[in-house]
């Protein structure tokens, strides 16, 4: 039977992992191996995907992929017994030790002069470190502690999608690079390639490998591959406070001796142990202390098949690995796993290639497993033995118990979708109706008071009418109207960051995968799309976590349909005068319309120009955590600064230019701003007929739309400037307002979002997105212009 046939709450022993290619390798790297014990925790509300418990952590995968994993059902008691025995139990080992002296690896005051003189780098060498670890193990938190930076951290896998670097605090001449989270050195998604390429091609002087001590077994899998690279490294056991708080512990000395690298217990969130970690990292990098042990395959392990295979290939390719500047053991193991990138780099001759294949086939026959599974099994066997000797496992952690309880509701079969809708509804209601509107009204009143005070001051100074108008109708009306929307935008960002930090975002992906697959996307695409409600720029960047190019293209194409927070200003500006108390209904309606249009476009794309299946959904579900107030505050502060800066730069420039074009004719004579003689009226008048069928052909509205390409908030500033005190209701009818809002929702994203799309997918795709969005916006607005009179 297969894993998909296993009932909820049942246990099974993996017999074979079927499938092929990168997904199979990824599953194996995540620990889904023959003889592993799995438990089916639950199915998503729509029956797919399934959440399983393996090696003490929760993993989600689709039923189709689960159907490729053959299992043998076992009773709960048998499962517990097998987990206790673990892998490698029958192996002879000589690891019995009672009191091992502290090995003192990477410690200047303990090590002998002999070691210190090993390979010291010249003084003043810029020491570069790669910060590597699994997804969601606290890398960015540690990076922030090390460098004093304020990078955003979240509680779902894949917050860091590009590398970031910074100097270690109080240690000039150092550079730490925070790499995206990876599970192994097999290239599965583009973020894993970023990390692997950095380590292999840019040769950092040291690696800081951070791992989640509460999930040590799976995290050590990457550690073993990093050790194979032969680069000086330090192991940071993060979240030790959580581990110890739940009755667990780690025998650091023994682990250090067995792995041959310095091991430091830390808590990145509480800044505990970080100083010690820095001392060790600087020491191993400066003295280039390579790991003391790289050979983890044992001659006792299943007759030593893997051991002999690895060493034979290592001897065979030694010269090629040297020429390709690849670490020997790493190259050999990747060759066995069938990594094409490494195979190309090694440039083996046909004869050598064939010998390698024969050796691998012989190993597979002796071991009874295919090459990838055999290698992963060898690593997990070592890890199992290591953990048995050095790790006291915690009881079920408080955080996990709490997560299980919360998940009963938030991912429950009947409660997940209502809970999701309720949470999103609450967020929109708080933002656009109650709290957000109170705060906005308060700020708008303050801005109005300041504007009136300035107006009086200018009048009392007898300022020239044109300059007076420039200041009040241009700068104050434009920048002031945009600034008053700061509270709405901040509230939306606040709630989105709460979703992200708490760990709920990963659950949304789990719950919505089945629905998203119908439009050709994976559940993981929901994360960039939800971020798109905040801002399209990070949302486009976040699509890097998706493992398939097709999914990335489709997700990037859809994110601009998720109404970004800058558009909130337009909605509020138009909806309040036209719809009064029902303004919030109109706003929520726009959000829903954006999603529905995205779905329609996705269906067209899926069936015509982006055909294919959605990428596999293999994702870890993190425990729920209380969002860190510092993290949330930093994010809000940064967003406020960002928004205010834009109001006083881009929007300031735009309002002055528009004021000038509106108040002067082509002969540079001052004209009535509402007349048709101004430069702006003449230019905008040329394209205004295009919008006549949509019900908003006024040149002022068209100008506002054009200025929105720079920044969406600019639409409001422009309308405010151009209306010259005239109420907005006089510029268009209610029907026209609806069509205008629909057009604003769907038309081209701002220049910043287009720039990031261009960076991710190239010029042609960026132009395609602009044309697609404008075309779709026009068509949907036109449909509304036909529908509104009927309704």
Partner 1 sequence: MNIQSFLILAVIVVVFVFTFRYVVRKNKRNPGCGSCHGCDMGQHCRESRHH
**Residue 405 sits in the site that holds partner 1 (CB under 8 A):** no
Nearest approach in angstroms of CB 131 to partner 1 is 13
Shortest Cβ distance from residue 481 to partner 1 (Å)?
18
Task: Tell me if 569 contacts partner 1 by CB under 8 A.
Answer: no
Q: Residue 467, Cβ neighbours under 10 Å: how many?
A: 11
Contact flag: residue 498 with partner 1 (CB under 8 A) = no
Q: How far apart are CA 139 and CA 250, in angstroms?
A: 20
Q: For partner 1, which is the closer residue by CB, 155 or 381?
A: 155
Helix axes 504-518, 398-410, angle to 10 degrees: 40
Instruction: Transcribe 692-720 into DSSP letters.
Output: GGGT---HHHHHHHHHTTT-THHHHHHHH
> How far apart (Å, rounded) are the C-alpha atoms in residues 285 and 300?
34
HEC-encoded secondary structure of 140-160 = HHHHHHHHCCCCCCCCCCCCC
The contact pattern for partner 1, residues 146-165, with x = CB under 8 A and - = no contact, is: -x-x-xx------xxxxxxx
81-120 binders of partner 1 (CB under 8 A): none
In angstroms, the CA 52 to CA 49 distance is 10
Residue ranges in 293-332 that form contacts with partner 1 under rule CB under 8 A: none
Site string for partner 1, 447-466 (x = CB under 8 A): -----------x--xxxx--
CB of 761 to partner 1, least distance (A): 14
Residue 170 or 350 with smaller CB distance to partner 1: 170
Residue 88 or 478: the one with the smaller Cβ distance to partner 1 is 478
Contact stretch for partner 1 (CB under 8 A) within 18-26, 388-396, 504-512, 536-544: 536-544
Measured from the CB atom, the residue of 118 and 638 that comes closer to partner 1 is 638
| 125: helix, strand or coil | coil
Alpha helices per DSSP H over 411-547 = 416-432, 435-460, 465-469, 477-483, 486-502, 504-518, 526-532, 536-542
Distance (Å, whole) CA 496 – CA 428: 11
Selected binder of partner 1 within 133, 157, 166, 478 (CB under 8 A):
166
Min CB(725)–partner 1 separation in Å = 21
- Comparing CA positions, the residue from 192, 196, 221, 193 lying closest to residue 207 is 196
- Distance in angstroms (rounded) separating the CA atoms of residues 214 and 57: 9
Neighbour tally for 697: CB within 10 Å:
17
**Of residues 668 and 791, the one with the C-beta less far from partner 1:** 668
660-684: b or e for each residue (b if 16 or more CB lie within 10 Å)?
Answer: ebbbbeeeeeebebeeeebbbbebb
Quick one: 162 or 441, whose CB is closer to partner 1? 162
User: What is the nearest approach in angstroms of partner 1 to the Cβ of residue 536?
Assistant: 9
With H, G, I as helix, E, B as strand and everything else as coil, classify residue 99: coil
CB-wise, 448 or 642, nearer to partner 1?
642
Instruction: Pick between residue 387 and residue 679 the one whose CB is nearest to partner 1.
Output: 679
| Number of chain residues interacting with partner 1 (CB under 8 A) | 45
- Sequence-distant (6+) residues with CB within 8 A of 254 are 97, 100, 389, 390
Smallest separation, CB 755 to partner 1 (Å)? 5
CB of residue 656 vs partner 1: minimum separation in angstroms?
A: 6
Beta bridge partners of 60: 51, 619
Which of residues 537, 575, 719, 769 is near partner 1 by CB under 8 A? Answer: 537
Find the binding residues for partner 1 in span 201-220 (CB under 8 A): none
Cα gap 697→578, rounded to integer Å = 18
- The residue among 333 and 469 lying less far from partner 1, judged by its C-beta, is 469
Residues of this chain, 361-400, that bind partner 1 according to CB under 8 A: none
Choose between 350 and 462: whose C-beta lies nearer to partner 1.
462
Is 102 strand, coil or helix? coil
Q: How near is the Cβ of 650 to partner 1 at its closest, in Å? A: 6
- Taking residues 635 to 654 in sequence order and writing x for each that binds partner 1 by CB under 8 A, - otherwise, the string is x--xx-xx--xx-xxx-xx-
Rounded Cα–Cα distance for residues 227 and 295 (Å): 9
Could you say which residues in the range 709-768 bind partner 1, by CB under 8 A? 752-753, 755-756, 759
CB 147 within 8 A of CB 531: no
Q: How far is the CB of 286 from partner 1 (least distance, A)?
A: 22
**Cβ burial, residue 249 (10 Å; 0-12/13-18/19+):** middle
Shortest Å, Cβ 653 to partner 1: 6
Residue 629 in the binding site for partner 1 (CB under 8 A): no
CB of 678 to partner 1, least distance (A): 19
Subset of 652-671 contacting partner 1 (CB under 8 A)? 652-653, 656
Closer CB to partner 1, residue 333 or residue 565?
A: 565
The distance from CA 627 to its chain's CA centroid, rounded to whole angstroms, is 16
Instruction: Report in angstroms how near the CB of residue 256 gets to partner 1 at its nearest.
Output: 31
Decide if residue 264 touches partner 1 (CB under 8 A).
no
Please enumerate, as own/partner, the contacts of 671-675 that have beta carbons within 8 Å and a separation of 24 or more: 673/473, 673/722, 673/724, 674/724, 674/726
Q: Which residues contact 342 (CB under 8 A, 6 or more apart)?
A: 326, 331, 334, 335
Report the residue number, 168 or 313, with the smaller CB distance to partner 1: 168
Give the residue with the Cβ less far from partner 1, 647 or 694.
647
E strand residue ranges, 609-725: 619-620
Among 423, 444, 541, 683, which residue interacts with partner 1 (rule: CB under 8 A)?
Answer: 541
Q: Per CB under 8 A, does 171 bind partner 1?
A: no
Please state, in angstroms and rounded to a whole number, the distance separating the CA atoms of residues 517 and 414: 20
475 binds partner 1 (CB under 8 A): yes
Applying CB under 8 A, does 685 fall inside the site for partner 1?
Answer: no
Residues that bind partner 1 (CB under 8 A): 147, 149, 151-152, 159-167, 458, 461-464, 467, 470-471, 475, 535, 537-538, 541-542, 635, 638-639, 641-642, 645-646, 648-650, 652-653, 656, 752-753, 755-756, 759
């Amino acid at each position: 039977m297969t894993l998909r046939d296993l009932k909820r709450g049942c246990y099974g022993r993996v017999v074979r992992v079927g499938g092929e290619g990168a997904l199979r390798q990824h599953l194996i790297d995540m620990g889904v191996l023959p003889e592993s014990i799995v438990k089916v925790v639950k199915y998503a509300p729509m029956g797919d995907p399934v959440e399983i418990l393996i090696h003490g952590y929760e993993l989600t995968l689709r039923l189709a992929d689960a159907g490729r994993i053959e299992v043998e059902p076992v009773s709960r008691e048998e499962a517990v017994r097998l987990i206790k025995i673990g892998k490698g139990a029958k192996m002879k080992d000589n690891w019995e030790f009672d009191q091992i002296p502290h090995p003192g690896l990477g410690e200047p005051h303990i090590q002998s002069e002999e070691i210190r003189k090993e390979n010291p780098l010249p003084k003043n060498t810029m020491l570069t470190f790669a910060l590597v670890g699994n997804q969601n193990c606290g890398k960015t938190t540690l990076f922030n502690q090390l460098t004093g930076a304020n990078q955003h951290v979240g509680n779902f896998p894949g917050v860091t999608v590009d590398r970031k670097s910074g100097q270690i605090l109080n240690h000039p001449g150092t550079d730490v690079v925070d790499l995206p989270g990876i599970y192994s050195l097999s290239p599965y998604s583009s973020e894993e390639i970023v990390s692997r390429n950095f380590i292999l091609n840019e040769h950092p002087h040291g690696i800081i490998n951070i791992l989640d001590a509460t999930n040590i077994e799976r995290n050590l899998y990457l550690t073993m591959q990093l050790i194979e690279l032969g680069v000086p490294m330090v192991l940071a056991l993060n979240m030790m406070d959580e581990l110890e708080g739940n009755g667990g512990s780690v025998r650091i000395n023994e682990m250090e001796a067995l792995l041959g690298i310095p091991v430091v217990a830390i808590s990145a969130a509480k800044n505990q142990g970080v100083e010690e970690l820095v001392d060790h990292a600087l020491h191993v990098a400066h003295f280039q202390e390579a790991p003391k042990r790289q050979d983890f395959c044992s001659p006792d392990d299943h007759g030593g098949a893997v051991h002999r295979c690895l060493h034979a290939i290592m001897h065979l390719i030694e010269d090629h690995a040297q020429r390709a500047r690849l670490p020997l053991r790493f190259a050999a193991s990747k060759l066995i796993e069938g990594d094409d990138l490494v195979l190309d780099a090694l440039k083996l001759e046909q004869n050598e290639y064939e010998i390698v294949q024969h050796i691998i086939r012989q190993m597979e026959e002796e071991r009874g497993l295919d090459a990838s599974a055999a290698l992963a099994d060898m690593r997990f066997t070592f890890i199992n033995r290591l953990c048995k000797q050095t790790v006291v496992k915690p009881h079920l952690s408080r955080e996990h118990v709490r997560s299980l309880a919360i998940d009963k509701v938030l991912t429950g079969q009947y409660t997940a979708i209502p809970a999701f809708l309720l949470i999103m509804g609450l967020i929109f209601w708080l933002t656009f109706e109650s709290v957000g509107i109170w705060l906005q009204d308060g700020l708008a009143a303050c801005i109005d008071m300041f504007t009136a005070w300035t107006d009086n001051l200018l009048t009392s100074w007898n300022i020239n009418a044109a300059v007076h108008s420039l200041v009040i109708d241009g700068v104050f009306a434009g920048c002031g109207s945009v600034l008053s929307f700061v509270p709405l935008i901040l509230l939306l960002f606040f709630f989105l960051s709460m979703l992200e930090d708490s760990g709920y975002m990963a659950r949304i992906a789990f719950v919505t995968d089945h629905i998203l697959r119908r439009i050709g996307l994976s559940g993981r695409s929901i994360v960039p799309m939800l971020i798109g409600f905040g801002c399209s720029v990070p949302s486009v960047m976040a699509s890097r976590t998706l493992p398939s190019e097709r999914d990335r293209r489709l997700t990037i194409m859809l994110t601009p349909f998720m109404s970004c927070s800058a558009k909130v200003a337009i909605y509020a500006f138009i909806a309040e005068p036209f719809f009064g108390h029902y303004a919030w209904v109109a706003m929520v309606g726009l959000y829903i319309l954006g999603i529905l249009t995205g779905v329609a476009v996705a269906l067209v794309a899926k069936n015509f120009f982006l055909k294919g299946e959605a990428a596999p959904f293999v994702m870890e579900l993190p425990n729920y955590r209380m969002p860190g107030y510092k993290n949330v505050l930093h994010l809000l502060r940064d967003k406020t600064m960002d928004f205010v800066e834009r109001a006083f730069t881009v929007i300031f420039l735009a309002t002055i230019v528009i004021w000038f074009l509106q108040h002067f004719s082509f002969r540079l004579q001052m004209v009535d701003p509402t007349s048709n003689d101004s430069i702006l009226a003449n230019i905008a008048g040329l394209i205004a007929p295009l919008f006549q069928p949509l019900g908003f052909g006024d040149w002022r509205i068209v100008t506002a739309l054009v200025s929105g390409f720079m920044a969406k908030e600019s639409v409001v500033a422009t309308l405010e400037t151009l209306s010259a005190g005239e109420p907005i209701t006089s510029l268009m009818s209610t029907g026209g307002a609806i069509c205008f809002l629909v057009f604003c929702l769907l038309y081209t994203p701002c220049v910043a979002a287009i720039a990031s799309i261009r960076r991710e997918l190239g010029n042609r795709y960026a132009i395609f997105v602009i044309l697609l969005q404008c075309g779709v916006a026009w068509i949907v607005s036109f449909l509304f212009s036909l529908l509104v009179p009927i309704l």
